[in-house]
Amino acid sequence: MDTFIETPAIRARNLMVAFGDRTVLNHLSLEVRKGEILGLVGGSGSGKSVLLRTIIGLIAKRQGEIKVLGVDIAEADNAALRALERRWGVLFQQGALFSSLTALQNVQFPMRENLNLSQRLLREVALAKLAMVGLQPRDGDKLPAELSGGMTKRVALARALALEPELVFLDEPTSGLDPIAAGDFDDLIRTLQQTLDLTVFMVTHDLESLRTVCDRIAALADGTMVAIGTMSEVRQSSHPWIEAYFRGKRSHVLVPAPGMTGA
């Protein structure tokens, strides 16, 4: 693996997040390197989505430090924050497409807000983005209510990529998709990551995506990172949750290729 001397894409240190007196994240530290795909795993309710939302600034932290692309979110002023937000894209779990706009208008929305483009270029780029995520131009005229689950995720990914982000956050990108669609989506993420030179931070439950797409895996349990590393490194951890997760009934997808960790 290459040695990275540049600043990491995301660096969280001693992060603590709590709601009322319920501590969700407790002294959590995490580094995401530039250009890698990091998969975050953890049980339901372990705080994966909370961590993602804290990093992108939707949830306030109690303690600790978060730097995204070298910018400290807590200290950045509004202008710096807006500029930073243009450098990342977020794919929400349910897509979060604007329901009154068509798929194409959804993809165009961030461009319209942030760039001063001609109508023609706006349309071409948005259609090109849709084509890159594997959709037909005619899908662009559909409203989100008319899209299938897989198409919704694709449109949401195209929207997340609209402003050419350096960093993409994916919240359970393959949940709710059939295995074929999920596999296609995994390939899509891999291809786009390579073509667009992205850093990807991905929350997932899908063992298959972990195996095929992720460079490194971070495991969240008890409010903190219990293991981080390549698939084989993480699987050697003796933490009870990791043992249960990777040796559970459904982990047989990993058995044929324990060495193939993509790293």
d(CA 40, CA 201): 7
Binding status of residue 227 toward other proteins by CB under 8 A: no
Q: How far is the CB of 74 from other proteins (least distance, A)?
A: 27
Establish if 59 lies at the interface with other proteins (CB under 8 A).
Answer: no
Please list, in sequence order, all residues whose beta carbon lies within 8 angstroms of the beta carbon of residue 228, skipping any fewer than 6 positions away. 30, 216, 217, 218, 219, 234
Region binding other proteins by CB under 8 A among candidate stretches 14-22, 61-69, 142-150, 168-176: 142-150
Q: Where are the alpha helices (DSSP H) in 87-178?
A: 103-114, 119-132, 149-160
Residue 187 beta carbon to other proteins: minimum distance, rounded to whole angstroms? 14
Q: Which of the stretches 44-52, 62-70, 143-151, 204-212 binds other proteins when contact is defined by CB under 8 A? A: 143-151
The SS3 of residue 217 is strand
Q: Which of 44, 78, 118, 238 binds other proteins (CB under 8 A)?
A: 118
Interaction of residue 91 with other proteins, rule CB under 8 A: no
Q: How many residues contact other proteins, by CB under 8 A? A: 34
Output the CA torsion sign for 44, 47, 48, 53.
positive
Residue 83 engages other proteins in binding (rule: CB under 8 A): no
**Does residue 79 touch other proteins according to CB under 8 A?**
no
Residue 131 interacting with other proteins (CB under 8 A): yes
Q: Does 128 bind other proteins (CB under 8 A)?
A: yes
Q: Does 164 bind other proteins (CB under 8 A)?
A: yes
**Which residue's structure tokens are 């990551």?**
193
Comparing C-alpha atoms, which of 170, 197, 162 is closest to residue 186? 170
Strands (E), the chain: 10-19, 22-32, 37-42, 63-68, 71-72, 88-91, 167-171, 199-203, 216-221, 224-229
Report residue 77 as tokens: 């002023």
For the bound state, the minimum distance from the C-beta of residue 128 to other proteins, rounded and expressed in Å, comes to: 5
Which residues lie near other proteins (CB under 8 A)? Answer: 98-100, 104, 111, 115-118, 120-121, 123-125, 127-129, 131-132, 136-138, 141, 143-146, 161, 163-164, 194-197
